[in-house]
Amino acid sequence: MATPIEIREEAGVRTLHFGSEWIQGAMRIARPWNLELEYTREMMASLLLCDTPRKVLLIGLGAASLTKFLYRHYPLAHLTIVEIEPAVVAAARQFFKLPEDPKRINLVIGDGAEFVLNSNKKFDLVLVDGFDENARTGALETLPFYQACRTRLSGDGVLTVNMLTRSRGFKATAERIAEAFDDRTLVLPSSEAGNAIAFATCGDPIEISFDDLKESALALKKLTGLNLQPTLARLAQAKTCLNNQLVL
């Protein structure tokens, strides 16, 4: 049965729903290229760890927020998007300004987990944000999937996963990511919306001082307009960075 697609608008913000109250994506109509939802901004904190991604894999299209952000601000990046539901792609084009550019955007209609398990390509950045109408992720939160993501990363590539803390399996999901990446993971403190973002890598060890992170965040803001200062503040409060160092 096809996923029921619903588009809503309120206070200048257009949202995508799969026949439920869960928001699958959002766009401020006056600023279609901006990242409207907090969790999408936090997923882009991966750019502090991987600042010039050339090959990016996105699992789950939603309202195309991450796709549009990367497409606009990283003109050398080639984006592969895997979306299981054709109606979501149609909605992203019609209502959310998904760019039409086959040279830079490779849009695959298919199962994200199967794509990763069967692919032999390497990516600098893998972004996983796939949920159904009941906010379930299915195979996208299994150990074999995360292990396959690890094999798909380039030398210093980064995996970024959106997890819902409302899910009873949230901690187990984080543990599976940690197992797949030999504990080289970082989970941001849960946001007010109930999302927690996990980062993982398997390349050279990453050691960045908090001061350098702040400098990188300022440079990113200058380049893209994205303000990651609130994210860094929450990271500091969570004492994730021991001795003022992010070690991953």
> What pLDDT band is residue 134 in, cutting at 50, 70 and 90?
low
Q: Is residue 26 part of a domain?
A: yes
* CB-based contacts of 85, cutoff 8 Å, min separation 6: 2, 3
Instruction: Read off the pLDDT of each residue in 159-173 and give the average, rounded to a whole number.
Output: 82
- Compute the average pLDDT of residues 59-71: 97
Question: Does 69 map to a domain?
Answer: yes
Of the candidates 62, 147, 88, 89, the residue with the CA atom closest to the CA atom of residue 113: 147
Q: What is the DSSP letter of 26?
A: E
At residue 96, does pLDDT exceed 60? yes
CATH number at residue 149: 3.40.50.150
Angle, CA of 221, 33 and 28, to the nearest 5°: 110
1 is a domain residue: no
Residue 14 dihedral angles phi and psi, to the nearest 5°: -100, 130
Confidence band for 19, pLDDT divided at 50, 70 and 90: confident
Whole-number Å distance between alpha carbons of 204 and 89: 36
184: nearest Cα among 207, 170, 200, 173: 200
* Number of domains within the chain: 1
Range of the domain at 99: 6-247
Contact 43, 30 (CB under 8 A): no
Element (H, E) at 199: strand 195-201
φ, ψ (nearest 5 deg) of residue 109 = -90, 110
Bridge-based pairing state of the strands 25-28 and 78-83? unpaired
In a domain, 56, yes or no: yes
Residue 216 forms part of a structural domain: yes
The residue ranking higher by pLDDT, 31 or 137, is: 31
Instruction: Return the SS3 of 90.
Output: helix
* Residue 52 parent element (H or E): none
Considering the candidates 129, 182, 204, 211, report the single residue annotated as catalytic. 129
Residues 195-240: tens digit of each pLDDT: 889 999 999 999 999 999 999 999 999 999 999 999 998 888 766 6
- Is 129 designated active site? yes
**CA-closest candidate to residue 127, choices 75, 84, 67:** 67
Residue 6 to residues 62, 86, 154, Cα–Cα distance (Å): 12, 14, 37
Query: Is 180 within the bounds of a domain?
Result: yes
**Which residues partner with 127 through β-bridges?**
58, 160
Within a domain: 100: yes
Give 58's pLDDT tier (boundaries 50, 70, 90).
very high
Share of the chain above pLDDT 70, in %: 93
Alpha helices in 86-193 (DSSP H): 86-95, 112-118, 143-152, 170-180
Side chain identity at 146, as an amino acid letter? Y
Whether residue 209 lies inside any domain: the answer is yes
